[in-house]
Each structure stands twice: as structure tokens, then as C-alpha cells.
Amino acid sequence: MAKEIERKFIIDPEKWDKKGTPVAITQAYLAIDNDKIVRIRIAGEKAYITIKGKQTGITRDEFEYPIPVADARQMLGLCLYNPVEKTRYITEIDHKTWEIDVFHGQNKGLYIAEIELHSENEPINLPDWIVAEVSTDERYFNFNLSINPYCSWQ
């Protein structure tokens, strides 16, 4: 079974130096419930369907499969709530891959960095542009950003 172990952080965009090649991402959700989500994602010229299980700590089951972009575009029309639009930058720091998401549309102004780990206790060095960890704060889960966008937060 595939496992995703991921930590998420809010970043300070003034301190972050925007390294990495930008990739435009649009994603939306076919199913959202307490035990799973089913996501459709178009990332640049590729598309995926992803099934994620319930998160426990910073770990959850994850299954991701490539699909034709034309199919993904059609499936986006079947999705619930609002699509999440962002630009992702991938950068290496201390031999670890960081994904920095700059959100657009209804989540404009939100900057999140993610790092996938091999274990929940794996040590990492935090870059100076990290502001706060939000790994278990459900408001920052992408599926929740489609339901309750960042621009609507008080």
C-alpha cells in the first residue's frame, strides 16, 4: 500500500527566493468524505487521478495514476466545489525535495511549502522562509481550500 508522509508549512513570500521551475496546477475533487478523497489534477502537460485515505498524524494512504489530459479536463466538470489553482515550484534543500505552492484564484495570497518524508520522525532543516507548520491543520488541506477558500477566511 502506498503511503504519503508529508509536512506542510506556511511560508513568507518575501523571504522565499522562488527557485525551481514553475508548473501550473489545477485540481478539483470528485469525492470528499471523512475516509477518503478522489482528486483530479492537471499539472502542466500531465494529468492524474489520486485517491487519498484518511490522514492519521502526517501519514495517509495515497494512490496516484496518470490519465489523459483530455479526460482530466472533462472530469474537472464533474467535480465538487471550486477548483484549486496554484503554481508549484520544486526545489532541493539539504538533499530533500520541497514543493512550494503559490495559490491563485480564491486562494490567492496563500503560500504553502510541502515536504514528503520517509518516516514521521525524519529530521529536516527548516529554511528561513518557513513561518509556521500547518501539517495537521485541516483548513490548509487542498480539498478544504476548494470548499472554504482562503479569501473567505476571517
What are the catalytic residues?
A: 29
What is the distance between the alpha carbons of residues 38 and 34, in angstroms, rounded to a whole number? 12
How far is residue 132's CA from residue 51's CA, in Å, rounded to a whole number? Answer: 27
CA 27, 29, 30, 34 torsion-angle sign? positive
Q: Which residue has the cell 494512504?
A: 61
Q: Minimal CA–CA distance to 4: which of 61, 53, 56, 55?
A: 61
Contact 58, 136 (CB under 8 A): yes
Q: How far is CA 68 from CA 48, 65, 71, 133, in A?
A: 8, 10, 5, 35
The DSSP-derived string for 127-144 is PTTEEEE-TT-GGGSHHH
